[in-house]
Structure 1
Amino acid sequence: MEARMKNPATIIPAAQKPIFELMQAAQSQGLPQELMEMIHLRVSQINGCSFCVDAGYKNLRKLGESDERVGLVVAWREAPYYTDAERAALELAEAATRLADHTDAVPDEVWNNAAAHFDEKQLASILLMIAVTNLFNRLNAPIRQVAGTW
């Protein structure tokens, strides 16, 4: 398997630095790296970005997450391995990724549940992670970026 082209951020180098700075900003509010990677993995699963799913899986394993917690992110609602705060973040990630699936992009119930677990800066961090992951997915999936490459 081969990608259709190089990643657009490598073709236009001026894009690469701000994209990675945005990712760093998203991760700057002290939320557990494991949570941020779970968000990245779930958003990438929804968008079908094999490159990002592969990276998210590998990053979570490097962080010491169990096979159960990594493998069942896709079914977090039914799996017993996640805290209430993690569930709230994953629910927000799903809603904010599937904007067109609801008349209200992020229903109040989803937002209020997340806001009960995270302060404003943490919510901003989660939203930035969701947005940057969606950006990565929208660059990698169309070009068929091969999982495990870069």
Structure 2
Amino acid sequence: MEPRLDLFATEFGAKLVKRFGNLGALMSQSTVPHATLELMSLRASQINGCGFCVDMHTKELVAAGEPAVRVNLTATWRESTVFTEAEQAALAFTEEGTRLADAYQGVSDDTWALVRKHFDDDQIAALVAEVALINAANRMAVILHQKGGSYEVGALAAATDPAAAN
């Protein structure tokens, strides 16, 4: 199945993607470790079945030096020994924040307590934004039938360069 629309090829879509990229760039200013944010994005993308985003975040993690075992075990992080307690809290938060329709409460009090244990208020704001942004990105890519496999490391950052935003 071919992609339905190339957002970069439309005037409004190009502006949308650049501004979306600006939000993503803001995440890099957070004190949450980059690997944690990428693992969160990978996990949400796995849950949402977004091949494009799984491809992108897998490749970005590998390029950043993340060991293959951690990348490969992200889908089964609860059954793994390679993630820190803080990363486990962030991954639980990601799953619960992504699967809102599966639980009327959204993020459970237990998961919230784990997140509070490992992250300060600014970092939690970044975690909330990361879950919201990746879920929005997953939905756009899945709706448009963006397939995984062709992403090249750094391509999204280059395409959404904040200096180029209108």
Quickly name the TM-score band, shorter chain normalised: over 0.9
- TM-superposed deviation, 1:10: 5.0
What does residue 3 of structure 1 align with? Answer: 3
Deviations 1:81-128 (A, max 9, x none): 000000000000000011111121111111111111000100111111
Matched with 1:52 is: 53
Question: For residue 91 of structure 1, what is the aligned residue in structure 2?
Answer: 92
**Following the alignment from structure 1 to structure 2, what is the Cα–Cα distance between the partners of residues 110 and 46?**
18
Secondary structure in 1 matching 2:118:
coil
1:39 aligns with 2:40: yes
Alignment partners' CA distance in 2, 1:131 and 1:117: 20
Q: Give the ranges of 4+ consecutive aligned residues of structure 1 lying more than 6 Å apart after TM superposition.
A: none
Whole-angstrom distance in 2 between the partners of 1:125 and 1:2: 34
- Please give the alpha-carbon distance, in whole angstroms, between the structure 1 residues aligned to 2:111 and 2:117: 10
Q: 1:10 to 1:113 in 2, by over 3 A?
A: farther
1:141 maps to a residue whose letter is: V
The structural deviation recorded for 1:5 is 1.8
- Please give the alpha-carbon distance, in whole angstroms, between the structure 2 residues aligned to 1:10 and 1:83: 41
Q: Which runs of 5+ in 2 are unaligned?
A: 156-166
Q: Does 1:118 align with 2:115?
A: no
Q: Distance in 2 between matches of 1:14 and 1:144?
A: 20
Shift of residue 22 of structure 1? 1.1
| 5+ long unaligned stretches in structure 1 | none
**Could you give the per-residue CA deviations for residues 24-69 of structure 1, whole angstroms, max 9, x where no partner exists?**
2223112211111100100000000000000010001001111110
Amino acid corresponding to residue 6 of structure 2 in structure 1: K
C-alpha distance in structure 1 between counterparts of 2:37 and 2:125, whole Å? 12
Distance 1:14 1:66 in 2: 35
Q: Could you tell me how far apart the structure 2 residues matched to 1:84 and 1:6 are?
A: 39
Give the structure 1 partner of residue 25 of structure 2. 24
TM-score by length of 1: 0.93
Alignment length, in residue pairs?
Answer: 149
RMSD over aligned Cα, in angstroms? 1.4
Answer yes or no: is 1:102 the counterpart of 2:99.
no
